[in-house]
Structure 1
Amino acid sequence: MKRTTRVTAAGAAIAATALLATACAAGGGNDGGSDDDGANAEGRIAVAYEGGISVLDPETLEVVDELETEEFTRLNAFGDGRTVAVTTSAGFQMLDTAEPTLTDVVFDASAAGHVVTHHGKTVLYDDGTGKTTILDTDVFADGYGETPEGESYTADAPHHGVSIVLEDGTLLTTVGDENSRSGAAALHEHGDHWDTEASNDTCPGIHGEGTAADEAVIFGCEDGALLYQAGEFTKFDAPDDYGRMGNAFVSDTSPIVVGDYKNDPDAEGYLLNAVTLIDTAAHTYEVVDLPDGVEYTFRDVARGPDDLAYILSTDGQIHVLDPESGEVTDAFPVVDAWEGPADWQDPHPAIKVDGDIAYVTEPAKNSVHKVDLTTGEVLQSVELDQTPNEMAVALG
């Protein structure tokens, strides 16, 4: 390792302030969650390509079906082990991977954004309106009929945001507008309005979300990270003036969050070579530089067996990172060496994990690989007719 920097929490809880916000009705019309609260039906792997989606059998990687869609779509597991939320120009369209079919269930959104699953709730966020839609994760257990209604909350101003609902009903949601984002608020619903129980405005550029053990929720900031736990916000300051974390990779059985890290706002491209390690129990924040030659993007980190982190690097290997020590303990080759994308939407290798198994895309070969993370063995590979881009794992 070239550098390890550890800092402790810089901020304390921010007192709750009162705020009334009108709750809007959910609109109607016709990545994997860890909560298997849903349909108990056999799901599959969804892989987006330009103009379509391939649905793969998780055991054999055989292409079960191909479905036409828009030129670029994003895929997020809905959390029920079957459904994938496909972000389109119309909003969030539900893909039934068991059928498989792109259903007529569409949650209207002018700019469909983040999808978050936690403790039996799936939350959709519309960047274009600032609207949060809260749904039961098992809402499609009886099929995909009319678009169901759910609870909703609309932010004071639209922004690129994210929301999550905790076990006690707390709605955590980002705060910002079309020009900037400043922090997050914890809300509770009271009749026809939402009250703010706590808030924090010390997280510039807030982006991304992850929930670790004991419902410790982390958001990324341009100068560190923001923790919400047990009713209080705590800010962690990065060791660099600009130290951006934009994505959190978590396990609900580990208090340690692995985040991406960028300390050069002018750097070209999307490759990163350092990670943040945030211990939400000890309230410590650490930046660890990865070994030379180990670089990755936001699509290339996942948590897996033993709560370890698995980083798919440009050298073609999956590097195994122990979050407790910050050390890379193993590596195994999976794909050929690759270069970072010119634009984040461009196809480049991605990793998704289900249990001990990783599914890895290799766009340069139009391929998808299935890897046993306990041994490093590539179990199956398939060559597609199209170039894979986004991927979601929806397994019951």
Structure 2
Amino acid sequence: MPRSLACATGLSLALTVHAVAQDAEHAREDVTHYRVFVGDHADPRVTAFDLTEPSKRWTFATTGQPKLYGVDDGSAVVAVQSDSDAVHFMRSGISLHSHGDHADIEIADPAAVRETLTGPRPFHLIDHVGKVVINFDRGGYAAVVNAHKLGEGEVEATRLPQARAHHGYAAPIGSAWVTSVASDAPVEGDTAPKRLGLQQVTADGTPVGDVATCTGIHGEAFSGAYLATGCEEGILTVTAGTNGPSFTMLPYPADLPAGDSTGTLIGSKAMQVFLGNYGAKGLVVVDPVDEPHIRHIELPFRRIDFALDPANARFGYVLTEDGTLHQIDVLEGKVARSARVTEPYSMDGHWNDPRPRIAMAGDEVVMSDPKAGLVRRIAKDTLEEAGMIPVEGMPYNIAVVGGSGVMHEGDGHDHAGHAHSHGDPKIYAGYFEDSQIQDRPLSDYAGDWQSVYPYLRDGTLDPVWRHKAETGTMDAAGYKAEYETGYRTDVERITIEGDVVTFYKDGQPTMGTYASDGRETLTYKKGNRGVRFIFRKTGGNADAPQFIQFSDHGISPTKADHYHLYWGNDRAALLNEVTNWPTYYPSSLGPNEIASEMMAH
């Protein structure tokens, strides 16, 4: 670990903090709301309805059979139509905004986004760090769409070229990209090129370094610091590092059934673990950090579909062809309970024949039942039926968006007036009363964060220093020198999830669990003040720091947009360090976006 990282809240380059409008001025209502989107197997359409009020419905026309994905925390739904060379987008009408101690929920009618994407056979979709990446298998490129703009009804897309067209994917890793790689010519007796592995590329598709072998690469997911993908040899994992992505192969254990492999993976958002398929009758639980890395779960019948529970990371659910739904204990690596929920569906025949698909909605498993023309609601704890919703046609692919949050009086269901303050300028400048200060939870800083130091070194931030020099007391070179000392760090990334803080140095994680250790109010030479929110280590790796301290100009609970951080083992000494103040912005932002943010504030 590096030396203590210090925060200088009195420095002129400050962090913008979005503060929640005073809830005391408005009535609040706790709301749980889930909306279901169902694609028809035969007819080109998507049906949407609220889970608790299914009689109110919306229908969206598509070009062909859609596979549905909820993206940007459910604010948008993407309909990928592989056989029709089209991708349609919908605003889900449900937005969740985290504010540390609570989330606000906004509810409106769903709406189709006018713009679409067309291209040769779109297939795999990845939603990660604010980017939706759709691979066009026969086009030899991936379309990269701004996820946040989708939630606002805009399709802002660029292309990442691949060396050759193939059934694969591209994914962002920290500030870099990786893409699957295929051979120049089809395998003998096949019509498609053989998939060979994964390689780092630049944003314009230029290869960087060697190809990490992953024969037959297929299926991908993110969990914590890791991207995982299925191979014939095992599970290939990828983490971000200062010098680019780091690749590690986790071989299949010798006691797994020979000849099978993993081609579909789901990543947990609540803990660092993956659930994947393995052969026709198996699942694997993949732990990228601790051994055993791969544990096998044998199922009694062939698997139809499976999902992880985002609300309780311990459990997953899998439907087998006999019509039985099984609850999977991910920690124990076994089937916890089973119940018959539908008529049998044979896995014989074409892979795209109409069979049930499952998704999660709070305390329920939501399952399409194409033959019965139903969407079934199943209590996830007991696996008992909670309700049936008739859906016209043959309901097939399914996506569920929504969750729980606070609805403010006057928002109604349009939420046009849902406003948040962007911070009191006096507080931002460091002038406030002690009575205004409130404790803040670690969740205010939750997320995936990148250091801005590399962007100072490569010149990306040079416009920031020129901008500061226009009204400041130094020239651009002087500001760059000052911030070179301030931003300096070899920790390129930090992730914060629950009480777990993970520091990444050269792609290698160091993890600690932390609890609040109060706050300290500091007075600076010019008379303004700042508040540092302090957290003490309660567990984790031995070399994780004993104390971490945040400063982002906020003095009460609010979600941080970016922050300065310092850490070390001496709580008091850290308060005196004001020359080195590494700054972290969301990993979803690109370098030029960060520079623009800095100049705007």
TM-score (norm 1): 0.77
Contact 1:60 1:380 in 2 (8 A): no
**Corresponding residue of 1:187:** 201
Partner residue of 1:233 out of 238, 247, 251: 247
User: Of 33, 37, 44, which residue of structure 2 is paired with 1:46?
Assistant: 37
Contiguous gaps of at least 5 residues in structure 2? 1-32, 94-108, 184-191, 404-601
Q: Which runs of structure 1 show a deviation greater than 4 angstroms over 4 or more consecutive aligned residues?
A: 192-195
Please, which runs of 5 or more residues in structure 1 have no aligned partner?
A: 1-41, 263-271
Distance 2:341 2:69 in 1: 24
Question: Does the 8 Å CA contact 1:261/1:276 hold for their aligned counterparts?
Answer: yes
SS at match of 2:371: helix
Q: Are 2:336 and 1:329 aligned?
A: yes
Q: Among residues 162, 173, 195, which one is paired with 2:179 in the alignment?
A: 173
- Spell out, residue by residue over 1:153-175, the C-alpha distance to the aligned partner (whole angstroms, 9 max, x if none): 11100110112223x22212211
The equivalent residue for 1:269 is none
From the two aligned structures, give the one with the greater helix fraction: 2
Q: Which residue of 2 aligns with 1:16?
A: none
In the other structure, the counterpart of 2:278 is 261
Q: Secondary structure at the match of 2:271?
A: coil
8 Å contact kept, 2:75–2:401 = yes
Structure 2: how far apart are the matches of 1:241 and 1:314? 22
Offset from partner CA, 1:2-44 (integer Å, 9 cap, x none)? xxxxxxxxxxxxxxxxxxxxxxxxxxxxxxxxxxxxxxxx873
Kindly state the Cα deviation for residue 374 of structure 1 after the two structures are TM-superposed: 3.0
What is the CA–CA distance in structure 1 between the aligned matches of 2:335 and 2:326, rounded to whole Å?
7
1:73: which partner in 2? 66
Aligned pairs for 1:25-104 (under 5 A) are 44-49=35-40, 50-51=42-43, 52-62=45-55, 64-88=57-81, 89-98=84-93, 99-104=109-114
Change (3 A) 1:359 1:219: same
Which residue number corresponds to residue 210 of structure 1? 221
Contact 2:91 2:152 in 1 (8 A): no
Counterpart residue type for residue 232 of structure 1 = S
For residue 93 of structure 1, what is the amino acid of its counterpart? H
Tell me, yes or no, if structure 1 residue 149 matches structure 2 residue 157. yes
The correspondence for 1:378, drawn from 363, 379, 385, is: 385
Task: State the AA in 1 paired with 2:208.
Answer: T
What TM-score, normalized by structure 2, do the two folds share?
0.52
Displacement of 1:184 in angstroms is: 0.6
In structure 2, the residue corresponding to 1:138 is in which secondary structure? helix
Matches within 5 A, 1:255-294: 255-262=272-279, 272-282=280-290, 284-292=292-300, 294=301
Q: Report if aligned partners of 1:216, 1:280 keep a CA contact under 8 Å in 2.
A: yes
Q: Report the alpha carbon displacement of residue 216 of structure 1 after superposing the two structures with TM.
A: 1.2
Report the CA distance between 1:197 and its aligned residue. 5.2
Rg (Cα) greater in structure? 2
**Contact 1:302 / 1:351 at 8 angstroms: preserved in 2?**
no
Root-mean-square deviation (CA, aligned residues, Å) is 2.4
Residue 73 (structure 1) shift: 2.4
Amino acid at match of 2:288: T
The answer to whether the 8 A contact 1:223-1:241 is kept is no
- In structure 2, what residue type is equivalent to 1:176? A
Instruction: Give the structure 2 partner of residue 29 of structure 1.
Output: none
In the TM superposition, residue 86 of structure 1 has moved relative to its aligned partner by: 1.4
Local SS of the residue matching 1:217: strand
Of 378-387 and 60-69, more deviation after overlay is shown by: 60-69
Question: SS of 2:157's equivalent?
Answer: coil
CA drift at 1:314? 2.3
Counterpart in the other structure of 2:422: none
CA contact 2:161–2:205 (8 Å) conserved in 1? no
Q: Which amino acid aligns with 2:298?
A: L
In 1, the alpha carbon distance for the partners of 2:171 and 2:363 equals 26
Shift of 1:288: 2.2
CA contact (8 A) 2:297 2:333 kept: no
1:251 aligns with 2:251: no
Supply the distance in 2 between the matched residues of 1:173 and 1:232 (Cα, whole angstroms): 13
1:116-155 counterparts in 2 under 5 A? 116-144=126-154, 147-150=155-158, 152-155=159-162
Cα 1:390–1:257 shift into 2, 3 Å: same
Residues 1:328 and 1:193: Cα distance change in structure 2 (over 3 Å): closer
Structure-2 change in CA distance of 1:101 and 1:90 (3 Å): farther
